[in-house]
């Protein structure tokens, strides 16, 4: 599907390919319980624990099934979060995911990164519908979905099974026709 990994630039961010060189950055991100609280991932114990995740992102991209960017501030080489499509079907739909180091929450970074990939999905991938499943109780993500224009469709009861427990997920969607660009 892709001849090379696309880099996306915004006024404050650069969305880049995640490589093994970012293992420490991803450990800092996914080793924090604040970040993994609503994520189906046990907090990482050391930087090497992030390598299987990096390889998973790479394999899914190479298969044309998903794309996950590292988020970095324009003046930095460090990744402070990730954003992307966990899966997508061109001309049809995609499912977004995002995360950010706790120190960078509430600064508009996730909003800026999501605006960029939503635009990329609708235009470069020609996707019609973008979905997000948010774990019930994750109020900051629910607020972000509304801020970005996503519509809440309903609750997927006990939809996620992780760590020996079932979780309800709130389904959100945004249609290409609803996007004001």
CA 40, 45, 47, 51 torsion-angle sign: negative
Tell me the whole-structure pTM to 2 decimals. Answer: 0.93
Q: How far is CA 23 from CA 12, 31, 46, 52, 155, in A?
A: 23, 11, 9, 10, 34
Residue 70 confidence (pLDDT)? 98
Instruction: Say whether pLDDT at 37 is over 80.
Output: yes
Instruction: Say whether pLDDT at 1 is over 70.
Output: no
Separation between Cα atoms, residue 83 and residue 15, nearest integer Å: 8
Residue 181 confidence (pLDDT)? 57
Instruction: Say whether pLDDT at 163 is over 80.
Output: no
Taking only the tens place, the pLDDT of each residue in 45-74 is 999 999 999 999 999 999 999 999 999 999
All structural domains of the chain: 8-132 (3.40.630.30)
């Amino acid at each position: 599907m892709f001849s090379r990994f696309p880099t996306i630039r915004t006024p404050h961010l650069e969305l880049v390919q995640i490589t093994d060189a970012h293992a420490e950055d991803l450990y800092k991100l996914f080793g924090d319980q604040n970040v993994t609280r609503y994520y189906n991932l046990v907090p990482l114990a050391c930087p090497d624990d992030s390598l299987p995740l990096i390889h998973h992102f790479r394999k899914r991209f190479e298969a044309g099934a998903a794309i996950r960017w590292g988020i970095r501030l324009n003046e930095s080489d460090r990744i402070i979060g990730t954003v992307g499509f966990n899966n997508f079907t061109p001309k049809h739909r995609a499912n977004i995911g995002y995360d950010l180091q706790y120190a960078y929450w509430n600064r508009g970074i996730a909003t800026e990164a999501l605006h960029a990939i939503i635009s990329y999905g609708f235009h470069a991938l020609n996707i019609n519908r973008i979905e997000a499943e948010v774990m019930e109780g994750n109020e900051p993500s629910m607020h972000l979905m509304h801020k970005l224009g996503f519509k809440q469709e309903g609750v997927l009861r006990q939809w996620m099974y992780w760590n020996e427990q079932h979780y309800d997920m709130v389904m959100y969607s945004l249609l290409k026709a609803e996007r004001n660009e």
